[in-house]
């Protein structure tokens, strides 16, 4: 499919379902694809009962910030133009950072906001990626490298890429899911707390899993399947609440 100039996939539980969910995949802003995320998007489409648009947004280092954000905004506006009254946005890992960049960009521009946001194991703190942690984790080097490629010299304290230091007031309800063994667990907690402090309706759910981005294992990991069921329920409820409002 082509979402207003952005290539991608449309995954639906049936041909009759209209797409109302936008999924921004993870991969540290340098990897990942719509095709690679087709199984996860398909499961989410089934649990949410709606079509899911998965854009192949441009990746660093060939296309650093703000290319991915521009593509996410373009795909979102395309969905609105196609008749989706209120869209749910979702993402995993660095895709969560892109979700928040999208939300903040829409807020800055005075554009209609989504009905809700679903964030799987969020990586949203590019400032922290440049700092050493104790004890160190093997994921730190990956985050540091990919953050540098994505920003390409752009300030990491730009509000669009630093949501933990930005006023999130006015953003839609959020569901944040994390794993007990995720090295980025505290970042997910901090996001949930910061969003709540800003007046955002933020729900935090924690699952007993020992890995980052565990949702991609939904086909054989019961906790991941349960998380996606709950995410689908959140998406349905947020859409209904937006329509009623």
**Active centre residues (catalytic):** 93, 182, 212
Helices (H) and strands (E) in the chain, counts: 6, 8
d(CA 222, CA 204): 19
Residues with Cβ within 8 Å of 62's Cβ and at least 6 positions away in sequence, in order, are none
User: How far apart, in Å, are the Cα atoms of 24 and each of 57, 75, 198, 229?
Assistant: 8, 10, 24, 18
d(CA 133, CA 171): 30
CB atoms inside a 10 Å sphere around CB 16? 7
d(CA 29, CA 101): 13
Of the CA atoms within 13 Å of residue 162, those in its CB half-sphere come to 13
Contact predicate 208/223, CB 8 Å: yes
What is residue 38's three-state secondary structure? helix
Contact predicate 186/101, CB 8 Å: no
d(CA 117, CA 119): 6
């Amino acid at each position: 499919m082509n979402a207003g100039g952005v290539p991608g996939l449309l995954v639906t539980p049936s041909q009759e379902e209209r797409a109302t969910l936008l999924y921004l995949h993870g991969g540290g802003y340098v990897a990942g694809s719509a095709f690679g995320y087709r199984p996860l998007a398909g499961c989410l489409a089934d649990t949410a009962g709606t079509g899911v648009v998965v854009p192949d947004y441009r990746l660093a280092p060939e296309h650093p910030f703000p290319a991915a954000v521009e593509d996410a905004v373009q795909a979102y506006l395309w969905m609105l133009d196609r008749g989706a009254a209120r869209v749910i946005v979702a993402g995993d890992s660095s895709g969560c950072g892109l979700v928040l960049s999208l939300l903040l960009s829409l807020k800055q521009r005075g554009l209609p906001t989504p009905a809700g946001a679903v964030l799987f194991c969020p990586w949203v703190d590019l400032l922290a990626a440049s700092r050493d942690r104790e004890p160190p984790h093997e994921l730190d080097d990956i985050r540091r490298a990919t953050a540098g490629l994505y920003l390409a010299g752009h300030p990491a304290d730009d509000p669009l890429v630093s949501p933990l230091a930005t006023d999130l007031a006015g953003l839609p309800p959020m569901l944040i899911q994390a794993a007990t063994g995720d090295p980025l667990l505290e970042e997910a907690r901090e996001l949930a707390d910061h969003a709540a402090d800003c007046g955002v309706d933020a729900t935090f759910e924690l699952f007993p899993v020992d890995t980052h981005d565990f949702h991609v294992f939904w086909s054989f990991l019961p906790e991941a399947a349960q998380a996606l069921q709950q995410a689908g329920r959140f998406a349905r409820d947020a859409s209904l609440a937006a329509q009623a409002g």
